[in-house]
Amino acid sequence: MSLDCKTIHQEIYPYSTEIRTFFSPGRVNLIGEHIDYNGGYVMPFAISNGNAGCISIRLDQKIAFYSSNFSDYGIISSDLEHLEYVKDNGWANYAIGIIYELKKRNYLIPNGFDISITGNLPTGAGLSSSASIEALVITMMNECFHLGISKRDLSLISQYVENNYIHVNCGIMDQFVILNGIKDHALLLNTSSLEYKLVPMLLTEYEIVICNSLVKRGLVGSKYNERRQECDEALVIFQKFLDVSELCQISPSQFEMCKSYLGSNTLVKRSRHAVYENYRTIECFTAFNNKDYFKVGRLLTASHESLKDDYEVSCYELDLLVELALQNGSIGSRMTGAGFGGCTVSLVNKKDIEGFKKAVKDGYYQATGLLVEILVASVVDGTKEEV
């Protein structure tokens, strides 16, 4: 992929001389869904599908962006003094937002540059294609202009851009794992402290299989913000009885004791998901350490049930994919990411993989007329320069 990227770069910017190449992965979250904005534990990993990018530094102050995935946009250009959000810049706002924020924080970007990107992450599939671009561009800036920013801060700045420039109110999970991911490991990330532990993902008997429903995450913006707001409302009520600053600090027994004060079934459901999903994620970490993959599988499926019934962020197609997975050899399956479309993640015994793929494809096609895309995940490092 990086080779392709260099060829594209030379075609688009034929005058460029020194070209540096970077790769930024996508992400899959194994468990701990919709709790990264409630201070919970999440367990994401970086995947080999992602964005490759090339950069060459210019002598003037111009900046230019090209993506072969959005070739209709052509080359989007501006300069280092004009970095405001422009709707027509489309995908390039994720890149320009990063430059805007770095400059606002007084990081020195002395020269303009040309960037080209090519990716194999399906957009709108819930595999964080936008966070992958943010991570790619911020890493390029950090390396090419020697900004000396830690990976932790690169993640926080990228999340800040997503929240304040793009105006998507996401948590820290995607940017953090894309920048800090470690090959063959998931991170057990405490989203409150940003401390993490590694979870080995090279499983001798099982594969992690990703199924793309091909349903674009339509409602995600509005419903995502609505869920965040419901969690905040529930927290305010719990705080009258419990000394907590985030929903995921509440234990299941405290939740059961106090839930009747919430006064609304919706708030009970939302906060029940947050509290128990956090516990499932911690239990899942223990199950991995004990190599108890049946337990891991049961926790994944329980997470899906909770996202479907209590958090209400699933949809018919995701539920169908989970059902088909469980009927065809998977020991645990769930939707991954924000929901309302996108992908599922399933644990499947290696010897059952081919049968699994065929049965899920056929079943999904019969029910929906759609051809599900199936990827077997390889877990890679976070964004870095390719050498």
Q: Hey, which residues are catalytic here?
A: 174
372 is an interface residue for ligand GLA by CB under 6 A: no
SS3 per residue for 177-193:
HHHHCCCCEEEEEECCC
101 is an interface residue for ligand GLA by CB under 6 A: no
How many chain residues touch ligand GLA (CB under 6 A)? 11
Helix (H, G, I), strand (E, B) or coil at 9: helix
User: What is the closest distance, in whole angstroms, from the C-beta atom of residue 32 to ligand GLA in the complex?
Assistant: 7
Nearer to ligand GLA, 76 or 157 (CB): 157
User: What is the closest distance, in whole angstroms, from the C-beta atom of residue 207 to ligand GLA in the complex?
Assistant: 22
34 is an interface residue for ligand GLA by CB under 6 A: yes
Q: Do the Cβ atoms of 385 and 21 come closer than 8 Å? A: yes
Sole residue written with tokens 């199950």: 287
User: Can you say whether residue 74 is alpha, beta or left, with left for phi > 0 and alpha for psi between -120 and 50 degrees?
Assistant: left
User: What is the closest distance, in whole angstroms, from the C-beta atom of residue 27 to ligand GLA in the complex?
Assistant: 8
Check the CA dihedral 337-338-343-348 and report its sign: positive
Q: Which residues contact 351 (CB under 8 A, 6 or more apart)?
A: none
Sole residue written with tokens 């096609």: 365
Nearer to ligand GLA, 287 or 338 (CB): 338
First vs last C-alpha separation in the chain: 13
337 is an interface residue for ligand GLA by CB under 6 A: yes
User: What is the closest distance, in whole angstroms, from the C-beta atom of residue 335 to ligand GLA in the complex?
Assistant: 10
Check the CA dihedral 59-62-68-71 and report its sign: negative
**Residue of 36, 230, 277, 310 interacting with ligand GLA (CB under 6 A):** 36
Per DSSP, what are the bridge partners of residue 330?
348
Per DSSP, what are the bridge partners of residue 200?
185
270 is an interface residue for ligand GLA by CB under 6 A: no
Nearer to ligand GLA, 211 or 360 (CB): 211
User: What is the closest distance, in whole angstroms, from the C-beta atom of residue 79 to ligand GLA in the complex?
Assistant: 30
Binding window for ligand GLA (CB under 6 A); candidates: 34-42, 111-119, 273-281, 327-335: 34-42
Per DSSP, what are the bridge partners of residue 335?
344
The interface with ligand GLA within residues 112-171 (CB under 6 A) comprises 170-171
Q: Do the Cβ atoms of 386 and 140 come closer than 8 Å? A: no
Nearer to ligand GLA, 56 or 213 (CB): 213
Distance CA 40, CA 246 (A): 8
Binding window for ligand GLA (CB under 6 A); candidates: 12-20, 32-40, 63-71, 73-81: 32-40
Binding residues for ligand GLA, per CB under 6 A? 29, 33-34, 36-37, 170-171, 173-174, 337-338
